[in-house]
């Protein structure tokens, strides 16, 4: 099982703001390792959405923002749009396994 826990699903109406949490521990997020976020549309490969906690790659709308505090991180989507309906994953490193990369459990965002 993953060491990073996310809520299975969140939902919101178009235009609203939704927030996805990513809860870790002292061996990953709490140790100061960067957190990244990915969006996976149905039937496609994941796409980098946020890197190094709060940075957006070129082309990612500023409706998406990330933050990290203590042993958790969050992804916020403001002005929710129908095209945002997808699965979202956080990712970091866990020091208990040398060289490991760890993903969150994933969150399905539904646009009502």
Partner 1 sequence: EVQLVETGGGLIQPGGSLRLSCEASGFIVSTKFMSWVRQAPGKGLEWVSVSYSDAETYYADSVRGRFSISRDNSKNTLYLQMSGLRVEDTARYYCARERAAQSNANAFDLWGQGTMVTVSS
What is the contact surface with partner 1 in residues (CB under 8 A)? Answer: 2, 33-34, 36, 38, 40, 45-48, 51-52, 57, 87, 89, 91-93, 95, 97-106
Judged by CB, which is closer to partner 1: 65, or 92? 92
- Nearest-approach distance from CB 35 to partner 1, in angstroms: 8
Nearer of residues 77 and 102 to partner 1, judged by Cβ = 102
φ and ψ at residue 30, rounded to 5 degrees: -65, -20
The token duo for 109 is 């965002």
Tell me how far apart the alpha carbons of residues 82 and 109 are, in angstroms, rounded to a whole number: 10
Q: How far is the CB of 58 from partner 1 (least distance, A)?
A: 10
User: Quick one: tokens of 32?
Assistant: 């100061």
First to last CA, the chain: 30
Distance CA 103, CA 101 (A): 7
* Shortest separation between residue 14's beta carbon and partner 1, angstroms: 26
Residue among 17 and 95 whose Cβ is closer to partner 1: 95
């Amino acid at each position: 099982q993953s060491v990073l826990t996310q809520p299975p699903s969140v939902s919101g109406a178009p235009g609203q703001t939704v927030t996805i949490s990513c809860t870790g521990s002292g061996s990953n997020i709490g140790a100061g390792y960067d957190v990244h976020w990915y969006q996976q549309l149905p039937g496609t490969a994941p796409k980098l959405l946020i890197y190094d906690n709060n940075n957006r790659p070129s082309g990612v709308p500023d409706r998406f923002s990330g933050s990290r505090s203590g042993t958790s991180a969050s992804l916020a989507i403001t002005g929710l749009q129908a095209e945002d309906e997808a699965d979202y994953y956080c990712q970091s490193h866990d020091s208990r396994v040398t060289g490991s990369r760890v993903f969150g459990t994933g969150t399905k965002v539904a646009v009502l």
